[in-house]
Structure 1
Amino acid sequence: MAEYEEWRPEYCNISDRLDPGQIQDLVKPLNQSWPSLLRNETNLELWSHEWSKHGTCSNLSQHGYFAAALALDKLKLTNLTKILADGGVVPSDEKTYTLGEISDALAKGTGFSTYLRCSQNELKYGETLLYEVLQCVDRSGEKLVNCTTPYWVTRCLDPDKIKIPAWFYGQ
């Protein structure tokens, strides 16, 4: 099975690089709503990656893509920490959850299926961490849709014991 990163619809234009000048007026709200959580990645690097991987597959301009992401944020369907907590899944350095518990909480809170991706804790061998939640949108970027791409790989080596560390989410 191919990894998600290797699969793209044929209409994507990955050679279209993000021009920071095109989103200059959106930087402040993007810094608040879409920050990089990686220590070695700037917000601009994250947004460039997201534009290349996903934005170039939309029918939107660079500005339109990021403005649409911010508009979705206002629908209150993208505050995933709150949605997970409402579903009984709370970041913790001790408690673990199943992939199903996490998926169900997100689906209940948003009304749509998502993709989840895990990573392995580099500091504690064998520990599986929730790394990324992907929400799918229509090509106009205006509404969430169920994620259905058949090529998704979760990378969750132990889908019955996934941690969502409190430190990662500023708890």
Structure 2
Amino acid sequence: MRHKSNPPVPRIDNLRFWGEQWVKHGTCSVSMLDQYEYFSLALKLYNGINLREMLRKESVIPRGTLVARQAIFDAIRKHMKCKPQIRCQEIQNQYYLYEIRFCLTASKDPKFIDCNTEFVGCSINPEVYF
């Protein structure tokens, strides 16, 4: 999870990355948003969510230890009023929290909605390193 003070804003040396992100994720919104509007909206949404604070309020604090993945899910769901998608990554037979995704309606004024799949890549183990 990225630290809030380090948002992924475009820089001249990573324009290729941002171009790839537009092709991979943004082009489906081309009928509603151009590239500038798409990334502006993405950054607005990103900056409007304070995951660390949500988790802290529910006593889910990153310490590099095992945490119940359901606790992470429930804390976010409580504050966001929608089901996120928790993604894990396996490294040397251990599962780590890798990414938290949100699902949105497709519009210029998107609303958060439940994601269809709650956990991806997390194995059957109920705990992940966080």
Question: Same fold judged by TM-score > 0.5?
Answer: yes
Query: Which of 141, 159, 162 matches 2:128?
Result: 162
- How far the C-alpha of 1:159 sits from its partner, in A, is 3.6
Partner of 1:34: 8
Query: Distance in 1 between the 2:34 and 2:18 partners?
Result: 14
Please say if residues 85 and 100 of structure 2, whose CA atoms lie closer than 8 Å, have aligned partners that are also in contact. yes
TM-score, normalised via structure 1 length: 0.59
Partner of 2:44: 71
Partner of 2:76: 106
Query: Distance in 2 between the 1:80 and 1:52 partners?
Result: 27
Gaps of 5+ in 2: none
Partner of 2:60: 89
Q: Return closer, same or farther for 1:84/1:140 CA change in 2, 3 Å cut-off.
A: same
Query: Distance in 2 between the 1:90 and 1:70 partners?
Result: 24
> Which aligned pairs between 1:1-171 and structure 2 lie closer than 5 A?
32-34=6-8, 44=15, 46-58=17-29, 59-74=32-47, 76=48, 78-94=49-65, 96-121=66-91, 125-149=92-116, 154-164=120-130
Deviations 1:109-128 (A, max 9, x none): 2122111110012xxx2211
Query: Distance in 2 between the 1:102 and 1:88 partners?
Result: 10
TM-score, normalised via structure 2 length: 0.75
Deviations 1:40-75 (A, max 9, x none): xx854553343223212223111111111122235x
- When the two chains are superposed, the root-mean-square deviation of aligned CA atoms in Å is 2.6
Gaps of 5+ in 1: 1-30, 36-41, 165-171
Whichever structure has more strand as a proportion of its residues is 2
* 3-state SS, counterpart of residue 99 of structure 2: strand
